[in-house]
């Protein structure tokens, strides 16, 4: 079975439906699994790694949930529109959109290759905008949009200039979208994780750097993808309906 193949059980038309971009790995995979456990049908979006998407879909369906994998580059407006079209055909509508897709590039500002900057911002800013645009057009009443930023917007660690700049843009986009959707009963928030134990976080870091970052929060550990998925589930679920237009820094107490 390819991840683009339907893999879900029949469900009532009233079931809630989530689209999770970048949903096949890391935090996105944890979010996909958690929302599925909460009873949502989940569309696991991925860019290139079909095998990771298949693993995520299989884990959900084996546990009795409903999921399909759908490829799309989040910065491609036609591909993202097709992603939402497929979601509506398969499950009848869209209630939750979680934009986990993102890139990370670390470099001092003086040394960063501008082609790397363009690629990072294409995914992190344009991709966030395209996904938010489709969410604004498609989400049903009672729905939620959850974007992803980073706590580095506040901590301002060296070498994170390009990444933090892209995520600061996401925060502004999210807060404005929340106000633009006035009257539609749709919440819009952003989660800003601190250091979280994912492949993306570990890439290119020494053991000493990882240990230092793990000790930065007062809780003195790295976050886990499941920690962040819990926050997303709260914002997307009934308990989070009064939280709107906010950036929630899930980082163990970092400033």
Q: What are phi and psi of 104, to 5 degrees?
A: -130, 130
Instruction: Write down the pLDDT at residue 9.
Output: 42
pLDDT by position in tens, the chain (length 255): 445 444 444 344 458 999 999 999 999 999 999 999 999 999 999 999 999 999 999 999 999 999 999 999 999 999 999 999 999 999 999 999 999 999 999 999 999 999 999 999 999 999 999 999 999 999 999 999 999 999 999 999 999 999 999 999 999 999 999 999 999 999 999 999 999 999 888 888 899 999 999 999 999 999 999 999 999 999 999 999 999 999 999 999 997
Instruction: Write down the pLDDT at residue 134.
Output: 98
CA distance 31 to 126: 22
Contact between 141 and 186 (Cβ < 8 Å): yes
**Which is the CATH superfamily of the domain at 17-250?**
NAD(P)-binding Rossmann-like Domain (3.40.50.720)
Q: Catalytic residue positions?
A: 163
Q: Does pTM surpass 0.85?
A: yes
Contact between 223 and 252 (Cβ < 8 Å): yes
Axis crossing angle, helix 161-180 with helix 127-138, rounded to the nearest 10: 20
Residue carrying structure tokens 């395209």: 130
Q: What would you report as the CA-atom Rg of the chain, rounded to the nearest whole angstrom?
A: 17
CA distance 236 to 13: 19
Q: Estimate to the nearest angstrom the gap between the alpha carbon of 109 and the chain centroid.
A: 26
CA distance 132 to 111: 31
Contact between 189 and 147 (Cβ < 8 Å): yes
Domain boundaries along the sequence of the chain: 17-250
CA distance 64 to 87: 19
């Amino acid at each position: 079975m390819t991840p683009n193949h339907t893999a879900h059980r029949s469900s009532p038309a009233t079931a809630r439906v989530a689209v999770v971009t970048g949903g096949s790995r890391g935090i996105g995979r944890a979010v996909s699994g958690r929302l599925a456990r909460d009873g949502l049908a989940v569309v696991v979006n991925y860019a290139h790694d079909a095998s990771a998407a298949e693993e995520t879909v299989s884990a959900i369906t084996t546990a009795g949930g409903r999921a399909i994998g759908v490829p799309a580059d989040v910065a491609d407006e036609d591909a993202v529109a097709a992603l939402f079209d497929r979601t509506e055909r398969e499950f009848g509508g869209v209630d939750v959109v979680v934009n986990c897709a993102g890139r990370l590039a670390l470099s001092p500002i003086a040394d960063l290759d501008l082609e790397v900057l363009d690629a990072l911002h294409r995914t992190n800013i344009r991709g966030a905008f395209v996904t938010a645009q489709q969410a604004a057009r498609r989400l049903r009443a009672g729905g939620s949009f959850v974007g992803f930023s980073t706590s580095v917007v506040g901590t301002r660690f060296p070498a994170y200039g390009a990444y933090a700049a892209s995520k600061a843009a996401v925060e502004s986009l999210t807060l404005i979208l929340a106000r633009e959707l006035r009257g539609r009963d749709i919440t819009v928030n952003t989660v800003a994780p601190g250091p979280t134990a994912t492949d993306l976080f570990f890439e290119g870091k020494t053991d000493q750097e990882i240990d230092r970052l793990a000790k930065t929060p007062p809780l003195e550990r790295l976050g886990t993808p499941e920690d962040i998925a819990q926050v997303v589930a709260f914002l997307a679920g009934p308990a989070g309906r009064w939280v709107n237009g906010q950036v929630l820094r899930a980082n163990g107490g970092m400033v």
